[in-house]
């Protein structure tokens, strides 16, 4: 349970104000969203509290206006990272404490986060990383009207004869030696499989009324796949880095450009500290193990990301056997190249002359967004502004699929905040609030127990 949040690094950012507007880049334009930052601001605050985000306001130079402080103070830097922070300040940058979703209560508190070395990229063994399982699924299971079926696979969505609404969700799962199959019905169906798999499910649910796949009259289901331009930088100097937990620092000084760049470049933050075993797949195989261990001991490990732009030819398709295929051609690479060059120059100035640059391959597919984008015009979008399919009255897609652009910030917090926004919409649609108020009033009048 918990999907990709079981292995994510826990960095939870709000999109910048400008990310909701049309922005010019080296390789083209990033489109405007049909909602503004104002629509998500209160839900960002809810999401930060739900996921126990640690951070500090007022340091990030690109931070949007915010109505509330973080629910918890920033995760403390290790001694080596605190030194790097000071050196970056001396270079004129404005590094800030990374907003992190951890249940951290201090170094001597148990069983909360112990700031170990296997947070970024791994499931937490003590459930101290705030993820969808611990923050959302398990609390929901306390209600009698919530059921979780483990190991189930949804094969397709079925519609009525007119093709105007979903009538059933067809799923299979194993229970012991028995193969179960069932069609589940509901007034509202919400698909939340992740950007790749949500698009795949809609495509493989094609029928006579929807021959191109469900919600696909625009022909855009599966298209406009984005995943950021991503690189790891291993910065090595003479000084060792004994940090166990190093993912505490971010840099946005080049997010909107620089003194020599009129277009946005991107975002940088520390990764979890890489051991030599973790570095091995990223480096040439000829490097002997003793040297690799030395490099891991000396390195400070950075994650560099730039915005990629929506391209209808970057897409997900499903063949007749149900196999998902991804087609993706990187774009806006000039911004990413310039961002890395800028930051490598800074790293050399602060005593790290050797910087190993590893571009994250597409097969990793971090930060997948955009395959069912939302917008007000049905001919140009899959979903409306409330993430309801334009073509089907009771179908919603509520995950990373709705993004019209990728920005250059980790998408997780925006996915969570938007889910909370759509939850409020669904409560209004189902008249739940009115029923709640009526029940409270009847209780006050002594009409019900």
Residues 286, 290, 293, 294: what is their CA dihedral angle, to the nearest 10 degrees? -110
In this predicted structure, the answer to whether residue 447 has a pLDDT above a threshold of 60 is no
CATH of 3-442 given 3.30.565.10, 3.50.50.60, 3.40.50.300, 2.150.10.10: 3.50.50.60
Segment 320-341 mean pLDDT: 95
In this predicted structure, the answer to whether residue 390 has a pLDDT above a threshold of 90 is yes
> pLDDT band for position 321 (50/70/90)?
confident
Report yes or no: 360 and 366 within 8 Å, Cβ to Cβ: yes
Give pLDDT, residue 2: 82
pLDDT tens readout for residues 183-222: 999 999 999 999 999 999 999 999 999 999 999 999 999 9
Closest CA to 295 of 358, 341, 356, 351: 356
In this predicted structure, the answer to whether residue 448 has a pLDDT above a threshold of 90 is no
How far from chain centre, in Å, is Cα 64? 18
| pLDDT above 90: percentage of residues in the chain | 86
Closest CA to 253 of 304, 301, 300: 304
Q: In 3-state terms, what secondary structure has residue 188?
A: coil
Please enumerate in sequence order all residues whose Cβ is within 8 A of that of 289, keeping only pairs 6 or more positions apart, or say none: 276
The two structure tokens encoding residue 287? 């490097």
Closest CA to 13 of 303, 419, 404, 412: 412
Residues 118, 124, 130, 136: what is their CA dihedral angle, to the nearest 10 degrees? 150
Give pLDDT, residue 443: 60
Helix (H) or strand (E) run with residue 269 in it: strand 267-270
Helix 412-429 / helix 37-50 crossing angle, nearest 10 deg: 100
**How do beta strands 189-191 and 395-397 pair?**
parallel
pLDDT tens readout for residues 358-380: 999 999 888 999 999 999 999 99
Segment 48-69 mean pLDDT: 95
Give pLDDT, residue 435: 62
Give pLDDT, residue 436: 60
Give pLDDT, residue 437: 61
Query: What phi and psi values does residue 40 have, to the nearest 5 degrees?
Result: -100, -15
In whole numbers, what is the pLDDT of the chain averaged over residues? 94
Which residues, in sequence order, are bridge partners of residue 179? 174
Lowest mean pLDDT among 154-158, 203-207, 428-432: 428-432
Segment 251-265 mean pLDDT: 96
Give pLDDT, residue 106: 73
Segment 395-402 mean pLDDT: 98
Q: Is the dihedral of CA 215, 218, 221, 226 positive or negative?
A: negative
Give pLDDT, residue 177: 82
Give pLDDT, residue 386: 98
- The rounded distance, in Å, linking the Cα atoms of 439 and 437 is 5
In this predicted structure, the answer to whether residue 110 has a pLDDT above a threshold of 70 is no
> pLDDT band for position 438 (50/70/90)?
low
Give pLDDT, residue 373: 98
Query: Cβ of 393: how many Cβ atoms within 10 Å?
Result: 11
Give pLDDT, residue 181: 92
- The rounded distance, in Å, linking the Cα atoms of 340 and 225 is 23
The two structure tokens encoding residue 182? 């069932």
The two structure tokens encoding residue 104? 């951290």
pLDDT tens readout for residues 78-94: 999 999 999 999 999 99
Domain boundaries defined on the chain:
3-442
In this predicted structure, the answer to whether residue 98 has a pLDDT above a threshold of 90 is yes
Measuring CA to CA, how many Å separate 81 from each of 16, 55, 337, 344, 347? 26, 16, 25, 17, 13
Give pLDDT, residue 3: 86
Query: What phi and psi values does residue 137 have, to the nearest 5 degrees?
Result: -70, -50
Residue burial 105-114, b: 16+ Cβ < 10 Å; e: rest: eeeeeeeebb
């Amino acid at each position: 349970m918990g999907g990709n949040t079981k292995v994510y690094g826990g960095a939870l950012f709000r999109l910048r104000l400008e990310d909701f507007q049309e922005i010019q880049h080296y390789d083209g334009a990033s489109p405007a969203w049909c909602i503004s930052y104002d629509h998500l601001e209160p839900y960002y605050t809810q999401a930060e509290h739900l996921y126990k985000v640690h951070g500090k306001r007022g340091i990030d130079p690109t931070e949007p206006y915010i109505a509330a402080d973080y629910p918890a103070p920033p995760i403390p830097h290790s001694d080596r990272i605190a030194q790097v922070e000071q050196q970056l300040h001396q270079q004129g940058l404005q590094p800030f404490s990374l907003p992190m979703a951890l249940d951290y209560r201090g170094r001597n508190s148990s069983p909360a986060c112990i700031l170990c070395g296997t947070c970024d990229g791994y499931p937490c063994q003590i459930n101290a990383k705030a993820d969808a399982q611990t923050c959302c699924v398990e609390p929901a299971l306390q209600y009698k009207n919530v059921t979780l079926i483990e190991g189930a696979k949804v094969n397709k969505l079925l519609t009525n004869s007119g093709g105007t609404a979903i009538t059933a969700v067809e799923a299979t799962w194993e229970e012991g030696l028995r193969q179960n199959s069932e069609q589940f019905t509901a007034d509202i169906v919400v698909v939340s499989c992740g950007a790749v798999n949500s698009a795949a499910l809609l495509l493989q649910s094609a029928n006579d009324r929807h021959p191109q796949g469900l919600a696909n009259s625009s022909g855009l289901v599966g298209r406009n796949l984005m995943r950021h331009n991503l690189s790891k930088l291993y910065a090595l100097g003479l000084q060792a880095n004994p940090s166990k937990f190093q993912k505490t620092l971010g840099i946005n000084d080049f997010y909107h450009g620089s003194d020599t760049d009129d277009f946005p470049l991107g975002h940088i933050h520390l990764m979890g500290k890489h051991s030599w075993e973790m570095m091995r797949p990223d480096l040439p195989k000829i490097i002997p193990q003793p040297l690799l261990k030395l490099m891991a001991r000396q390195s400070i490990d950075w994650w560099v990301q730039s915005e990629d732009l929506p391209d209808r030819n970057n897409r997900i398709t499903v063949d007749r056997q149900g196999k998902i295929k991804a087609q993706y051609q990187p774009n806006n690479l000039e911004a990413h190249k310039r961002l890395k060059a800028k930051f490598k120059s800074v790293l050399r100035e602060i005593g790290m002359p050797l910087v190993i640059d590893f571009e994250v391959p597409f097969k990793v597919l971090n930060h997948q967004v955009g395959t069912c984008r939302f917008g007000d015009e049905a001919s140009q979008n899959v979903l409306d502004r409330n993430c309801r399919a334009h073509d089907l009255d009771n179908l919603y897609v509520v995950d990373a699929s709705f993004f019209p652009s990728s920005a250059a910030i980790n998408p997780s917090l925006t996915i969570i905040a938007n889910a909370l926004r759509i939850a409020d919409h669904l409560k209004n649609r189902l008249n739940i609030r009115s029923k709640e108020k009526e029940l409270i009033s009847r209780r006050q009048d002594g009409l019900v127990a």
